[in-house]
Chains A and B, each alone.
Chain A
Amino acid sequence: MSLAKPAMRGLLGKRLRFHLPIAFALSLVAAAAFKYGVTEPRKQAYADFYKQYDATKEFNNMRDAGVFESVRPTGE
C-alpha cells in the first residue's frame, strides 16, 4: 500500500500560529489571576488593617509590654 504525501512544509509555523496566541493569552490570564487573586487581596488586607489603626494606642500597649529600651512602661 503506497503512502500518500503528507504536508512537509511550514509545520513549525503552523504550530506556532496556533499555540503562541494561546500561550500569550494564558500568560495574561495567569498574570491577571495572580494580580486579582493574590496582590489585590493582600493590598486590601493591609488597607483594612491600617484604616482603624491607632498608632498611639498600639505604642502604649507595646510600651507597657516592656519591649522598648528608650521608654519605660508607664508607672515605673
Chain B
Amino acid sequence: MTHASVFRGNHKCTTMRTPLASRCYSHAKVETDEEFDARWVTYFSKPDIDAWELKKGMNTLIGYDLVPEAKILDSALRACRRLNDLASAIRILEAVKDKSGPHKDIYPYLIQELQPTLIELGISTPEDLGMDKL
C-alpha cells in the first residue's frame, strides 16, 4: 500500500498506529505519543510565550493528523490567558471541534476534560456564545 506511506505518520506496518513523523526509510528514533504530548505542553507552558509563538504553535498542532490531548489544550488555553487573548482561546475550542471531523464524540469529551480549566480561566465555549450556529 505505497500510497499510504506518502502521508506523515503512516508506516507500512499498520497493525499499530505509528506516531507522527516516521517514514519507512528513516532510522530516527520514533517519538512516543507521551513524548509528543509533553513536548507540546512544554511549548505552550513557556511563561513569556508571545502571540506569534502561540499562533504558530496552534497552527502547527492543527496540521497534524490528531486531535490534541486535553493537557496540550489546557496548556494552550493558559498561554492565551497569559497573553490576554480570549479570542484565541475560543478559537482553539472551535479548531478542536473542526479537527474532530465526523467523530462527534471527541469534542464533548474534551470539553468535559477541560471544564475545570474553562471555569477557572473564565472561557466560554462557542456553544455558550451561540457561535456554533451560523
Contact = CB atoms under 8 A, between A and B. Distances in A.
A16 interface: yes
A13 B4 CA distance: 8
Contacts of A7: 103
B29 interface: no
A11 B65 CA distance: 7
Query: Main secondary structure on chain B at its contact with chain A?
Result: loop
Interface residues on A, range: 10 to 19
A4 interface: yes
Interface string B79-116: 00000000000000000000001010110110010000
A5 to B, nearest CB: 6
A3 B33 contact: no
A2 B115 CA distance: 12
A3 B109 contact: yes
Contacts of A8: 66-69, 106
B9 interface: yes
B109 A13 contact: no
A5 B47 CA distance: 29
Contacts of A13: 4, 7, 9-10, 17, 65
Given A11-B67, A17-B1, A3 B10 contact: no
Contacts of A12: 7, 65, 101
A2 B67 CA distance: 19
Nearest to A10: B17
Interface of A: 2-14, 16-17, 20-21, 24
